[in-house]
Amino acid sequence: DVKVTQSSRYLVKRTGEKVFLECVQDMDHENMFWYRQDPGLGLRLIYFSYDVKMKEKGDIPEGYSVSREKKERFSLILESASTNQTSMYLCASSLTPTSGYTFGSGTRLTVV
Amino acid sequence: SQQGEEDPQALSIQEGENATMNCSYKTSINNLQWYRQNSGRGLVHLILIRSNEREKHSGRLRVTLDTSKKSSSLLITASRAADTASYFCATDRAGGTSYGKLTFGQGTILTVHP
């Protein structure tokens, strides 16, 4: 089975800190995605990547950046964390556009 | 507004009953997918139905798709307490190069009582 691993389950950071959320998949998937999940808002796409060093903005990219230097790793970066970025962050990968996503377990980030 | 919107927002049933959840969307799609999320965890892919398909089965799951009404339904038959979870529909919009980028609805919370 494909595994998507997010480095931290829970994270607490201070306002203004630079935060790195790491995601690694082990099955050579081309596409990787970062979503955030908030009550009442569902899942919203932040960024996605369809190849190494290739990335595209999703629906809510403001305040975030990403890095994909290797195929298996897709990092989400909060340049200067703010309290409104407190959320559950979910990473996912897919082999093809029609193969469905495999999700990681999520990182619950609290910014204080 | 949401591309995928589930209905109802919450559903409470007894074990053994069937559970039906609905999803409506606004734009043309390549496919529609259903996912399940247990409390506070990542989502698990359940089933994918393509825009040219009308019905699909997987175990106790039955999904229908009506592209003329832009709607889908997920039926879970003979539900079990272990089916308690949130269920999300997600759409891959048609047109352009989407790379399979999905837009998710807000989900239906299903509670199955033993």
Segment-wise mean pLDDT, segments of 10 residues, chain B, 114 residues: 72 96 93 93 94 96 97 97 96 78 92 96
* SS3 label, residue B18: coil
Please state, in angstroms and as integers, the Cα–Cα distance from residue B2 to each residue in A42, B102, B104, following that order: 9, 12, 8
* SS3 label, residue A46: strand
Question: A106: which chain B residues are within 8 Å (Cβ-Cβ)?
Answer: 40-42
Facing A48 at nearest CB: one of B2, B30, B99? B99
Q: Which of B43, B58, B86, B98 to mutate to test the interface with A (most CBs of A within 10 A)?
A: B43
Which residues on adjacent β-strands are paired with residue B107?
none
What does the buried/exposed string (b/e) look like for B21-44 if buried means 16 or more CB atoms within 10 Å of the residue's CB?
bebbbeeebbbbbbbbbeeebbbe
Q: What is the pLDDT of residue B2?
A: 43
- CB pair distance less than 8 Å for A4 and B43: no
Q: What is the pLDDT of residue B39?
A: 86
- CB pair distance less than 8 Å for B88 and A31: no
Distance CA A22, CA A70 (A): 12
User: From chain A, which residues contact B within 8 Å (Cβ)?
Assistant: 4, 31, 33, 35, 40-45, 48, 50, 56, 58, 88, 90, 92, 94, 96-106, 108
Facing A96 at nearest CB: one of B2, B100, B106? B100
Q: Where are the alpha helices (DSSP H) in A42-106?
A: none
Report chain A's mean pLDDT, rounded to a whole number.
94
* SS3 label, residue A55: strand
Token look-up 């927002």 returns B9
Residues 6+ apart with CB under 8 A from B25: B3, B4, B5, B32, B70, B71, B72, B89, B91
How does residue A2 score in pLDDT terms, banded at 50, 70 and 90? low
Token look-up 């038959």 returns B77
Distance CA B96, CA A33 (A): 18
Token look-up 């409104």 returns A84
Nearest CA in chain B to A108: B40
Question: B7: which chain A residues are within 8 Å (Cβ-Cβ)?
Answer: none
Q: What is the pLDDT of residue B6?
A: 82
Average pLDDT in the A55-70 region? Answer: 95
> How close B100 gets to chain A, by Cα (Å)?
4
Distance CA B3, CA B104 (A): 7
Q: What is the pLDDT of residue A98?
A: 81
C-beta of residue A43 within 8 angstroms of C-beta of residue A37: yes
Distance CA A76, CA A110 (A): 15
